[in-house]
Amino acid sequence: MGGNAIAVHDIEQALMGTSLGVDMQRGVPVRGGHRHHLKVINTIRRCGSIAQAVEQGVLSHGVLYECVRNGVPFALAGSIRDDGPLPDTQMDLIQAQTDYARLLEGADLILMLSSMLHSIGVGNMTPSGVKMVCVDINPAVVTKLSDRGSVESIGVVTDVGLFLSLLLQQLERLTNPYGVAQTV
Ligand SMILES: NC(=O)c1ccc[n+]([C@@H]2O[C@H](COP(=O)([O-])OP(=O)(O)OC[C@H]3O[C@@H](n4cnc5c(N)ncnc54)[C@H](O)[C@@H]3O)[C@@H](O)[C@H]2O)c1
């Protein structure tokens, strides 16, 4: 669950190597990069959807690519500030809330990663007893989440990239505790 932004930034990085025109390897703006996010939105619109872009071989890596390839359902809730938006972004917010509610059903742990908007939205829709872990670099965001009634949430104030790389390490340790090289 996320907004137009996560998908646009992810797809821009996959297709152009930039995020909002900034080279993700070198950390510097590239010439004409300000157009990149609109270019990739139009590319996906021409394909029909994110899933069709994957099927047509236009999108070949990234978060959304992995979701499509591995059958992980996603819902993108739109907002008035969205660029485009992408064809998959749901601009009818009542429908977007319904989509979120469907995906949240039965969840017993929710990871909320650096989005105040979507973390608080999801927190408000989640019944008590569900564990929530909110990762944000701004301590005010994790406090705001619990102040708004999501008292079960655990706040982790850190950089989301650091959190994800440590999470990956721990998951790898769980699935391969002795660090034995995997053979295929
Ligand atoms: N392209 C588009 O259509 C579009 C649409 C909406 C938003 N956006 C952009 O997407 C981004 C996120 O949107 P949002 O609606 O989720 O915004 P948001 O303000 O709700 O949440 C962003 C959160 O990220 C946190 N953050 C920033 N850097 C971090 C880091 N390194 N580690 C952990 N947390 C960090 C901030 O503290 C903030 O709480 C913004 O940059 C926004 O401008 C783009």
pLDDT at 156 (0 to 100):
94
pLDDT at 181 (0 to 100):
65
Query: Per DSSP, what are the bridge partners of residue 77?
Result: 3, 90
Domain tally for the chain?
2
| DSSP track, 116-148 | HHHHHHHHHHSPTT-EEEEEES-HHHHHHHHHT
Q: Could you tell me the CA-to-CA distances from 23 to 16, 17, 31 in Å, in that order?
A: 9, 6, 10
How many angstroms does the Cα of residue 176 sit away from the middle of ligand 1?
34
111/168 same-domain check: yes
Q: Which domain holds residue 171?
A: 107-184
Averaged over successive runs of 10 residues, the pLDDT of the chain (184 residues) comes to 97 97 95 96 98 98 97 97 96 97 95 94 91 94 80 89 95 83 59
CATH number of 33's domain: 3.40.50.10690
Candidate of 114, 118, 133 to mutate for ligand 1, largest count of ligand atoms within 8 Å of Cβ: 114
